Amino acid sequence: MDEGVVIRAEGLRKYFPAGASGLWGRRKAFLRAVDGVSFHVREGETLGLVGESGCGKSTVGMLLLGLHRPDAGRVLYRGEDILALEGEAKRRMRRNIQVVFQDPQSSLDPRMLVKKAVGFPLEVNGLARGAEVTRRVEAMLAEVGLRPEHMYRYPHEFSGGQRQRINIARALITGPRFVVFDEPTSALDVSVQAQILNLVKDLQKRRGYSYLFISHDLSVIRHVSHRVAVMYLGRIVETAPRGDLFQTPRHPYTRALMAAVPKPDPARRQPLALLPGDVPSPVHIPPGCRFHPRCPEVMDVCRETEPAPVEVGPDHVVACHLWHGTGFDARRRSA
Amino acid sequence: MNGDLLHIQDLSVRFFTYQGVVRALEGVHLAVRRGEILGLVGETGCGKSVLARSILRLIADPPGRIMGGRILFKGRDMLTLPMKEMRRIRGNDISMIFQEPMTSLNPVFTVGNQMEEVVRLHQKVSRKAARRICVEMLEQVRMPDPESVLRKYPHELSGGMRQRVMIAMELSCRPDLLIADEPTTALDVTVQAQVLHILNELTRARGTSVLFITHDLGVVAHLCDRVAVMYAGKIVETAPVDALFRSPGHPYTRGLLAAVPSVDEDREVLASIPGVVPGLIDPPAGCRFHPRCPAARKECEHLEPAGVEVGKDHWVFCHAGRGKVKGER
């Protein structure tokens, strides 16, 4: 059934201890960063993961990378449970899954030459040695739009955009099939952001990588993704193919998020959607639907019962009571 | 002009560093009119924050120095005012909001404490009256339960709430000009929407002029009446907001607009501006944009472009610009 799926996450959960511990050092409160998240990414596809700060989107990335261990759930790479792997098998698996982080500055060692930084994954994994490393670093740099002489420079000699190219080169040099991008352009200016986004898309087209692209910026997500998952307070509230999501968003949160983005066109100036209040703390998650205290369409049922995901169109899933028993799901069931 | 509240003329600011002299602003002209929201856009390091700080003379000297020019506020040159006068203008006539509200608030005092101090510093009122003014101000920025917010410390508030406290504080003195330096950049979009709404409503209702600094063209289109685009320490284009987005005149503005991904249309490839923003220690001669400009010609390399009026109130500083040259009228 998992034909063509590179990564599948099932029921991921990650709680962090928060606040003071109680008597006997027992923790009283937990920050529920990721609270039951499932999704998959297909071959050659980009899944965009969008949400506001603190919604848990970066933690999801960390769980896929094995940088955090989930409290529950599984991560499957081409059907293989990567959390069960140990030692050499685990190391070999990691070559397949790589990451590019937000801050191009702090993710590079300031005392490491670019050649060393980009070639290091090859050496660590025993994939190449000596002149072979140099050859492959050079080829990789060319691929991301840098020149051979850049190998013998230090990170501080580059602009933010170039540093992000170096990070991308380092992530791709072991030949991964799946790459997590965690807000890779948030620290960059728009003109440079455009260069990096184009590069990321171009590499995918040429090499067939699969991406999980994490961002808070809906317009960036729209530009790079094939499918989009919207997260709110540790849960995915809506998943849909890009076109569907942006043309017919179903979840009230998705709609509010879109309506809150100021459009760069004064001719279509309209009041921005105003959601009441702030995002609640992931330590004190509201009961029922997590979005209900801010939801413009809240019903009684939302305050008590957490909505189950409903399929409202092909590949379009919404976790909201408004859509229960409607649309695609109901039609298919009655057919 | 009479409609101008603030008129910046030929302003130059330099920073003297060990690496060399940074020409942060060179010959900048800019006017803020009464009651308008003027957007100042540009990328990191283009000098937009330096410009904002120069207005209030908040440039640390050394390393920075205002080399020349005039900043006329209600006709008086702020650069020659004695410090005592300057202090009276800050807060009373011109207020400023910064990007990160946490650094503008003192972490060891309650919000009420800090707000009252500001109110009482600028208005001769009793503590009790000041408290009442604070509550009213917080109500105006739609703060739920203002009484309890006043008792809280800054770290107990969310980013959006802190920024609303700052807006309330800055507007409590009823300034004529509010300088907002990327006030919503650190906020989530849904919270940004709230803050922009409040800022717009309050300043429009009071006729406060706003100099709104941002890198977000969406925010500009949404909020501003007029826009000035900055590149490498210079203003390259000023225009009414509709004209700027409909018919951008400067190649840099065009590049910037084309580089923004859109939420409501699918573009396969984003246009990007080749190269990187130049360093300001040794900026390119002539037009500072010429090394990256798709329309660069011979004269761009050594001749600084003059302002050309390409439409009503729409000025472009580019050799390729068509229209009347400044001063011809």
pLDDT tens, position by position, A175-199: 999 999 999 998 888 888 999 999 9
List alpha helices for A152-251, DSSP H.
Answer: 160-172, 190-207, 218-224, 242-247
Q: State how far residue B255 is from chain A, nearest Cα, in angstroms.
A: 8
Average pLDDT (A254-279) is: 85
Q: So what's the pLDDT on residue B328?
A: 39
The alpha carbon torsion through B205, B208, B210, B216 (nearest 10 deg) reads: -10
Place of tokens 């409202």: A312
Residue B321 · residue B310 · CB < 8 Å: yes
More confident residue, B103 or A246: A246
Nearest to A53 among B188, B246, B261 (CB): B188
Mean pLDDT of all residues in B53-64: 88
Amino acid at B147: E
> What percent of chain B has pLDDT above 90?
38
Q: Cβ of B295: how many Cβ atoms within 10 Å? A: 13
Dihedral class, residue B239 (left if φ above 0, else alpha if ψ from -120 to 50, else beta): beta
Residue B77 has pLDDT above 80, yes or no: yes
The residues spanned by each domain of chain A are 5-96+176-334
Q: Does B101 score more than 80 pLDDT? A: no
Q: How far is B99 from chain A (nearest CA, A)?
A: 15
Reported as a single tens digit per residue, the pLDDT across B137-154 is: 888 888 888 888 899 998
Q: How confident is the model at residue A331 (pLDDT cuts 50, 70, 90)?
A: low
* pLDDT for residue B116 is more than 80: yes
DSSP A1: -
Strand A97-100 and strand A178-182: the pairing is parallel
Question: Angle at which helices A252-259 and B189-206 pack, to 10 degrees?
Answer: 50
Interface test with B, best of A156, A183, A190 (most B CBs within 10 A): A190
Residue B59: pLDDT band with limits 50, 70, 90: confident
Amino acid at position A201, single letter: K
A191, B272: Cβ pair inside 8 Å? Answer: yes
The answer to whether the CB atoms of A272 and B193 lie below 8 A apart is: yes
Q: Is the pLDDT of residue A329 over 80?
A: no
Instruction: Determine whether the interchain pair B264/A269 forms a contact, defined as Cβ–Cβ distance below 8 Å.
Output: no
Helices B111-122 and B83-92 pack at an angle, to 10 degrees, of 120
- What distances in angstroms separate CA B105 from CA B108, B163, B185, B199, B212, one per listed residue? 9, 10, 17, 19, 20
Q: Which architecture does CATH list for A5-96+176-334?
A: 3-Layer(aba) Sandwich (3.40)
Q: Nearest by CB to A269, which of B44, B221, B273?
A: B221
Contacts of B78 (CB under 8 A, 6+ apart): B55, B57, B71, B72, B86, B89
Query: Are the beta carbons of B246 and A267 separated by less than 8 Å?
Result: yes
According to the model, what pLDDT value does residue B87 have? 87
Which domains, and CATH codes, for chain B? 4-93+175-325 (3.40.50.300), 103-174 (no CATH)
CA A108 to each of CA A170, A171, B66, B106: distance values in angstroms, whole numbers, following the listed order: 10, 12, 36, 34
- Contact partners, residue A251, CB within 8 Å, separation at least 6: A230, A237, A238, A291, A318, A319, A320
Which among B182, B5, B24 is positioned nearest to B94, based on CA atoms? B5
Q: What is the pLDDT of residue A97?
A: 93
- Residue of A272, A275, A279, A283 to mutate, interface with B, max B Cβ within 10 Å: A272
Q: What's the pLDDT at B120?
A: 87
Q: pLDDT-derived band of residue B326, with 50, 70 and 90 as boundaries?
A: very low
Task: Note the pLDDT of residue A21.
Answer: 60
Q: Using beta carbons and an 8 Å cutoff, which residues of A are at the interface with B? A: 52-53, 159, 161-162, 189-195, 197-198, 201, 216-220, 222-223, 242-243, 246, 256-258, 260-267, 269, 271-275, 277-279
Among all residues of chain A, which has the CA nearest to that of B200?
A: A271
Q: What is the ipTM of this complex?
A: 0.80
Q: What is the per-residue pLDDT for A96? A: 92
Residues of B in contact with A183 (CB under 8 A): none
Q: Do residues A237 and A254 make contact, with C-beta atoms less than 8 angstroms apart?
A: yes
Partner residues linked to B227 by β-bridges = B39, B239
Residue with tokens 């590079």: A108
Share of chain A above pLDDT 70, in %: 93
The pTM of this model reads 0.87
Digit-coded pLDDT (tens) for A291-321: 999 999 999 999 999 999 999 999 999 999 9
| Structural tokens at position A301 | 């049922």
Residue A335: predicted pLDDT: 46
User: What pLDDT, in 10s, does the model give residues A208-231?
Assistant: 999 999 999 999 999 999 999 999
Contacts of A243 in chain B (CB under 8 A): 266
- What local confidence, expressed as pLDDT, does residue A19 receive? 66
